[in-house]
Amino acid sequence: MGGGILRMAATNPLKPGNWRPCIVVLAVLVLGSNAHCADAANRQVLLRDITTIAGIRDNPLIGYGIVVGLRGTGDTQQTLFTTQTLASAMQRMGVQTSPTTMRVANVAAVFVTASLPAFSRAGMKVDVTVSSIGDAKSLAGGILLLTPLRGPDGEVYAAAQGPLTLGGYSAGSGGNAKQVNHTTVARVPEGATVERDAALDLRRFTTVSLMLREPDFNASHDIAASINHEFGKEVASAVDSRRIDVSVARAGAASVTELIARMQNLSINFHPPAKVVINERTGTIVMGGDVKLSPVAILHGNLTIEVTTTLTVSQPPPLSRKGETVVVPEKTVQASEGPVGRIELAEGARVDELIDGLRAIGATARDVVAILQAIKAAGGLRAELEVI
């Protein structure tokens, strides 16, 4: 079609009337193709962003320790495990003391947590989080003593120690006090040293399994097709809506690392599911851009009932012998009903049209939650509704 227009423009005389229609049609075609390409490009996502590798993950670590050097903001004498821990630590240092005679105002018992990254090697540094488990007021200025960190199997994988850093403060005395953020939780940047290797040997992998972060049969099929197209043969198969298996031997890559790197740089057209997430406690609503609505009409009105109590003092008559002052409550009940707001949405209406309509009738966040639930019950919401 575009070629015919160009030939007609070239054979006709150079008159303004002959050129204008050609330019307009070409402009429409170019704009339409650009919009289509832009929409397709916006849906392209890399496999690294929507998948993980089965077996390659972080591992949680936990340990119990004590923080020392506090300025009188540590645990009190009633926290028995703190005194017992301090007495045990002193005993290992060669000092014999009784837990009942120790003051722990400058000491706090804490749990130490960390995340051991995949392919961790001995000597690597990881960040740790320190959380008070007693009745300490603040961990500001404290130092974490040597604490072994264990994995789910009970083995020690790292050891933590170092000065604490807080993201807040607490100050004041008596009834006047000021606190910013949590002063009983702190971090030690690179405070733990890995003591045991936790790396996987990728050379033993015969199959690499890609795991979709969100299950989707469409995406699983497209990922397998994209990998097969990249290697020019059938090396990947979609097992289910979340897992895609890739044969290392069939791929013919020099190493598993190279195979994973090539796969993660591939991209597919990803269509996220239409979903609406509602948090009724906070009145938060998050809706995806692909959420569509069927033809629906919404009527929304407010009924307000206000009860007011006024206390009136009734004085006795002048010169009365047994007169008493009486407080008489007077109650007033007022009811007001606002006008009913109405919204009409046509077939295939978008989310922004619904939001604009709800704003126009003055609906609050709580009202929107109830309205969306009613639309879903009426079959007008073409999306999954999740209440958290």
Q: Which of 269, 284, 306 is the last residue of a domain?
A: 269
187 and 74 belong to one structural domain: yes
pLDDT of residue 59: 93
Q: Which residues make Cβ contacts (< 8 Å) with residue 284, sequence separation at least 6? A: 278, 365
Q: What is the pLDDT of residue 68?
A: 94
Nearest to 192 by CA among 230, 144, 227: 144
Within a domain: residue 173?
A: no
| C-beta separation of 270 from 380 below 8 A | no
- For residue 346, list its beta bridge partners: none
Of 149, 122, 132, residue with least CA distance to 73 = 132
Ramachandran angles phi, psi of 96, nearest 5°: -95, 125
The DSSP-derived string for 220-248 is HHHHHHHHHHHHTS--EEE-SSSEEEEEH
What is the reported pLDDT for 79?
83
Residue 6 lies in a domain: no
What is the mean predicted confidence (pLDDT) over 338-351? 67
Same domain, 243 and 263: yes
Same domain for 92 and 152? Answer: yes
- Encoded tokens for 314: 């009734």
Q: Is 157's pLDDT higher than 50?
A: yes
pLDDT of residue 176: 61
- Give the per-residue SS3 of 74-109: CCCCCCHHHHHHHHHHHHHCCCCCCHHHCCCCCEEE
Instruction: Give the span between the Cα atoms of 341 and 134, in whole angstroms.
Output: 54
Q: What is the pLDDT of residue 183?
A: 87
Asked if the structure places residue 149 within a domain, the reply is yes
Report the range of poorest mean pLDDT among 139-143, 260-264, 276-280, 346-350. 346-350
**Residue 123 or 42, more confident:** 123
Rounded Cα–Cα distance for residues 235 and 229 (Å) = 9
**Is 20 among the domain residues?**
no
**Do both 238 and 185 map to the same domain?**
no
pTM for the full predicted model: 0.67
pLDDT in tens, 19-28: 343 333 333 3
Are 88 and 212 part of one and the same domain?
no
Identify which of 165, 205, 172, 178 has the alpha carbon closest to the alpha carbon of residue 55. 205
Q: Are residues 186 and 290 in the same domain?
A: no
- Per-residue pLDDT, averaged over 168-194, amounts to 76
Measured N-to-C along each axis, helices 2-11 and 16-42 cross at an angle, to the nearest 10 degrees, of: 160
- Rounded Cα distance between 104 and 76, Å, is 6
Return d(Cα 388, Cα 375) in angstroms, integer. Answer: 18
Structure-model confidence comparison of residues 115 and 348, the more confident one: 115
Taking only the tens place, the pLDDT of each residue in 201-222 is 888 899 999 999 989 999 999 9
Residues 120 and 219 in one domain: no
Q: Judge if 352 and 242 occupy the same domain.
A: no
Q: Are residues 214 and 333 in the same domain?
A: no
- Report the pLDDT value the prediction gives residue 61, as an integer from 0 to 100: 97
Burial-class residue 363 by CB neighbours within 10 Å (0-12, 13-18, 19+): buried
Distance CA 198, CA 217 (A): 33
* 356 shares a domain with 298: yes
The 10 Å CB-count burial string (b at 16+, else e) for 19-58 is eeebeeeeeeeeeeeeeeeeeeeeeeeebbebbebbeeee
Domain co-membership, 137 together with 86 = yes
19 in any annotated domain? no
pLDDT digits (tens, 9 = 90+) for 286-336: 877 678 777 777 776 654 545 555 667 666 767 666 666 666 666 666 655
User: Which pair of tokens denotes residue 275?
Assistant: 């979903």
Question: Number of folded domains in the chain?
Answer: 3
Q: Characterize the bridge pairing of strands 143-150 and 125-132.
A: unpaired
Residue 160's pLDDT is what? 97
Is there a single domain that holds both residue 89 and residue 147?
yes
Quote helix, strand, coil % in the chain, to nearest 5.
30, 35, 35
- Assigned domain for 306 exists: yes
Would residue 16 count as lying in a domain? no
Question: Six-digit token pair at 22?
Answer: 């050609």
Sign of CA dihedral 209, 213, 216, 218: negative
| Cβ contacts of 229 within 8 Å, gap of 6 or more | none
Question: Which domain covers residue 209, as residue numbers?
Answer: 202-269
Whether 32 is covered by a domain: the verdict is no
Task: Provide mean pLDDT across the span 174-181.
Answer: 60
